[in-house]
Structure 1
Amino acid sequence: MMSHEGSCLCGTIKIDVSGDLAEADACHCSQCRKQSGHYWASTDVEMPRLTITGEDNITWYQSSEMVRRGFCKTCGSFLFWDPVQQDKLAIAMGAFDQPTGTKLWSHIFVRDKGDYYQIEEGTLQKDQ
C-alpha cells in the first residue's frame, strides 16, 4: 500500500499517511492567513490512516471552541488543523514530501482572502 511521508521544517515531527491523499483545499480565512503567513492548503486524513512521530513536540493552540491548530514547538511549522470531536485531521500540504499525488480542488473563505494576490481560475471557490 502506498504511503505519504512528511515532516515539520526541523524534522522533529514526522507524519506518515497510509493510502492516497485526498484532494486539498485552500483556506483564505483571516485565522489561517495570520497563522500561516498566506493562505492554508491542507488535506483531510482519517486518524486510523495517520502515524505521527514526535507528538510530544506538537503545541496545540485552541483557536475556537471547535478547532485547535497544531505546530512544532521547536521550529514553529504550522502542521495541523484539528476539528475537535471528529476522526480526521487536516494536514498542511507543504509538510508532505513530494510527489503528493493530489491537487488543490477548492478555495474556501475567499471573501476573506488577502488583497495582494489572485486566485487562479478553474478551481472551485466558496465564500465560506
Structure 2
Amino acid sequence: MTFSLSGPLGGTIACHCTQCRRQSGHYFAAVGAPRSAVAIPETKDLVWYRSSDIARRGFCRRCGSTLFWDPFEGEVTEVALGALDAPTGLTLERHVHVASKGDYYQITDGLPQDET
C-alpha cells in the first residue's frame, strides 16, 4: 500500500500507552499530519480498526503494517514513522503516555516526557 504526505507536518512522538504498545510490540512512533495532507491513491489494502471510543487504527491488508492512528475528533492523523521511506528528515521530539510505559525499558534519550 502506498500513501504520501504533503505540506507541513506536526511534531513527532513516541506513544507509550498500553494500546500502542500492544499493537506495535513496543511503543508507537508517529508524526502528526493534517488529514488533508495524507494522500492514499488506492485504498483497497487499507483496513481500519476501531481501537477505542476516540480513535481508529489503519493497517495494510497485504503486509499487516501499522500505518495510522486516526482520532474521530480533530484534523490530525498520526502517521507511523516506520511506514515512511528514508530519509524522512524527522527526529523524535517527545514521549507521551509515559505513565503507561512498559516496565521492561527505560526512557533515557533526554526528550520531554508527558505522563498522559
Provide the residue aligned with 2:18 in structure 1: 30
Query: What TM-score do the two structures reach when normalised by structure 1?
Result: 0.84
RMSD: 1.3
**TM-superposed deviation, 1:105:** 0.8
Query: What TM-score do the two structures reach when normalised by structure 2?
Result: 0.92
Q: Which residue among 63, 66, 72 is the counterpart of 2:60?
A: 72
Provide the residue aligned with 1:102 in structure 2: 90
Provide the residue aligned with 1:15 in structure 2: 3
Indicate if the aligned counterparts of 2:97 and 2:114 stay in contact, CA closer than 8 A.
Answer: yes
Indicate if the aligned counterparts of 1:68 and 1:84 stay in contact, CA closer than 8 A.
Answer: yes
In structure 1, what residue type is equivalent to 2:107? I
Which range moves more in the overlay, 14-23 or 111-120? 14-23
Indicate if the aligned counterparts of 2:56 and 2:69 stay in contact, CA closer than 8 A.
Answer: yes
Question: SS state of the match for residue 40, structure 2?
Answer: strand
Taking the aligned partners of 1:117 and 1:15, their CA distance within structure 2 comes to: 32
| Structure with the higher fraction of residues in strand conformation | 1
Indicate if the aligned counterparts of 1:106 and 1:125 stay in contact, CA closer than 8 A.
Answer: yes
Taking the aligned partners of 2:20 and 2:111, their CA distance within structure 1 comes to: 19
